[in-house]
Chains A and B, each alone.
Chain A
Amino acid sequence: MARFRATALLAVLAGVAFAASAAADPIRIGMSVASTGPAASLGIPQRSTVGILPPQIAGQSVEYFVLDDGTDASRGVANIRKLIDEDKVDAVIGSSATPASAAMSTVAAEKGVPLIVLAASASLIVPMTPEKRWVFKAPQNDSLMADAIAADMAKRGVRTLAFIGFNDGYGDSWLAETERAAKAQGIRLVDVERYARSDTSVTGQVLKVMSAKPDAVLVGAAGTPAALPQKTLKERGYRGLYYQTHGAANADFLRVGGKDVEGTLLPVGPVVVAAQLPDGNPVKPVALDYIHRYEAANGAASATAFGAHAYDAFLMLQAAIPAALQAGRPGTAEFRAALRDALEGLHELVLTHGIANTSAQDHNGFDARARVMVTIRDGGWKLLP
């Protein structure tokens, strides 16, 4: 009985100490994402993910500050300055697209605040320079995904490939990665076409692609606009293999693509097909947990791979914060520096998109476990063995 009483007393004391410390120094996390503008389909689920984040990490209460940058680099910079100068945040998550993320990363380095970007381009953290020391990246590098595509093509005997992609940074990055990965597998890139996200017709590009007679076509585009070239190719009777990038992996792409995108091959983060992963896969419970909690708050079938990147950024912070708390109180420069150091030393951290091992040179930390090849069957994603 006495022992029970002592335990209870300890628990109460611990609880009081806990509450006191939590009230004293909340950890402040800022977020600037593109919840309007061209990248809104990425930014909106990322913004909604904040709603399911816990109010406490390691016994410290956490405050979240969320801003919208409208997919605009200059607003992204204004946002991160506001978050750091006015809201005194300890870390920033964002933005959704590469241009705003790149612009924000210079401010993060200037102010000494860790930034976890949610954009895909590897150029944000590679090659590692003193300015990029403060920048970490939650989504997989394009190169990882491009390698998966090229390996799959080689397996299926593809010798010639045509690329049709966005006429912007996303398309540029994918074109560069595709050239490299295809060359490594001995696949010849026979035609490169570009189109804009807002184009209403790609007939010209598709005719050019078809006159090059490639074995496979890779569409380097994101979201529903990725369906347009494929629908036009189908309409014109192209019979080769269709590949898409992981940027196309959302439910709206399936809705708009309909039966014309059946059989498409693409690499995705495991969270997209979480329920189909084998039971031994460590990513499966984490990804399912995110999906269940997100969908409980936002409605059935609402979880996306893009929102999961924001959750991964949070998981990275959550893993790094206990070590940072040893070094200083939230809100201090010591805390932020220790947080940055801890983010660099993540070991086998299980995220919804894979397992991360970060280092001073690799601020993303993903390996081949962060991608799976899927196909589209009966209007859904089907995991390929």
Chain B
Amino acid sequence: MDPTIIAILVQDGVVNGAIYALLALSLVLVFAVTRVIFIPQGEFVAYGALTYAALDAGQMPGSVWLLCGLGAAACAASLRAEWRRLSPRRLARLLAGTLALPAAVLLATRELAPLQPGVLVQALLALLIVTPMAPYLYRVAFRPLAQASVLVLLIAAVGVHLAMGGLGLVFFGPEGSRATGFSEDSLELGPLIVPGQSLWIVGLTVALMLGLYGFFEFTLYGKALRATAVNRLGARLVGIGTAQSGEIAFSLAGVIGALSGILIVPLTTVYYDTGFIIGLKGFTAAIIGGMASYPGAALAALGVGVLESFSSFWASAFKEVIVFTAIIPVLLWRSLRGGVVEDEE
């Protein structure tokens, strides 16, 4: 083990850790706002990656149809929940958001997919296809349960995870895909070869984190989300729509998941079920951060990435064991230090 190898391992760990950090952030966000442990986060990574890869290959991704189906289901669920309170204006907004948007994305995909319009357009299109699924899922699966316990919400999340995993196999097939990256160049730093794509990953992660910080600190929606996270009842008393907050949180989780997928698919082969294990590592980081602290989760994610990279060098057969065992001392320390945290109802 010489300094070069250490440097390469750290580099690899930081790039993986950046992705885990993004996922950990969105897990913390969704949990804080809606109390849902968002297990399907990993599926959004896989959907984003494979949708982008299909567009990159000039094919029509099957996930577009899921978007249309989920949009229609979300429309039906919202109509059922709100039909008494619907004004014409709200109805128009609902129809635009759940029916017109997927239809527009479908048409755009149909026009653009065979043209292979370049990585940026493809990435945007993949984001447009995958992201709206998250708020639709919220309306269909989680909003009707909004008052249920954390455990019930967790079970619903596992259900959504299984359903999306199975549909992923139908849409994308059992074999994995790779795609063209944002940058084919690489930078030589002494013995290190830094692929341009990993700079994109780290750069976009930092940019997203700064963006989220700005969103929470300086915008009304961001403040509403924070208020909902701190005290759901209090937020409702001052007129914040908690359902709307949930939808925004899910949308952010969808964007982050899909973007993570688009970022990693040029570097590694992604399968319909790859997302779960990536999401689980993000979850590990979120747990280490206590499911509450954003900087804590981000730092823990970097730690998980580097730990993973070094354990794959030293003891590759036990890599996953080492990474997931890292939770135990942290949990012990937390429970000894902090006592029992009351489940806020």
Contact = CB atoms under 8 A, between A and B. Distances in A.
Interface of A: 36, 38, 40-41, 44, 167, 193-205, 207-208, 211, 223-225, 227-228, 235, 250, 252, 255-256, 258
A196 B169 CA distance: 19
Contacts of B193: 235
B244 interface: no
Nearest to B280: A198
A195 B312 CA distance: 8
A44 B274 contact: no
Contacts of A250: 175
A193 B311 CA distance: 11
Contacts of B269: 224-225, 227-228, 256
Nearest to B274: A198
Interface in B256-292: 264, 267-271, 273-274, 276-278
Contacts of A41: 173-175
A193 B8 contact: no
B175 A200 contact: no
B175 A38 contact: no
Main secondary structure of the interface of B (DSSP, over half): helix
A225 B316 contact: no
B178 interface: yes
Given A41-B175, A256-B175, A200 B313 contact: no
B326 to A, nearest CB: 16
Contacts of B317: 167, 194
Given A167-B317, A195-B312, A207-B5, A201 B12 contact: yes
Q: Which of A199, A225, A256 gathers most chain B CB within 10 Å?
A: A199
Contact of B273 (A38, A200, A228, A252): A38
A204 B314 CA distance: 8
Main secondary structure of the interface of A (DSSP, over half): helix
B312 A205 contact: yes
Contacts of B267: 200-201
Contacts of A200: 16, 264, 267-268, 270, 274, 278
Given A167-B317, A227-B269, A40 B169 contact: yes
Contacts of B12: 201, 203-204
9 contacts: A40-B174, A195-B316, A196-B277, A201-B12, A201-B309, A201-B312, A204-B9, A224-B269, A224-B271
A236 to B, nearest CB: 8
B319 interface: yes
Contact of A205 (B15, B169, B264, B316): B316
Q: Which of B268, B273, B274, B309 gathers most chain A CB within 10 Å?
A: B268
Given A207-B5, A207-B9, A207-B313, A201 B175 contact: no
A193 B264 contact: no
B176 A256 contact: yes
B310 interface: yes
Interface in B160-208: 166, 169, 173-178, 193
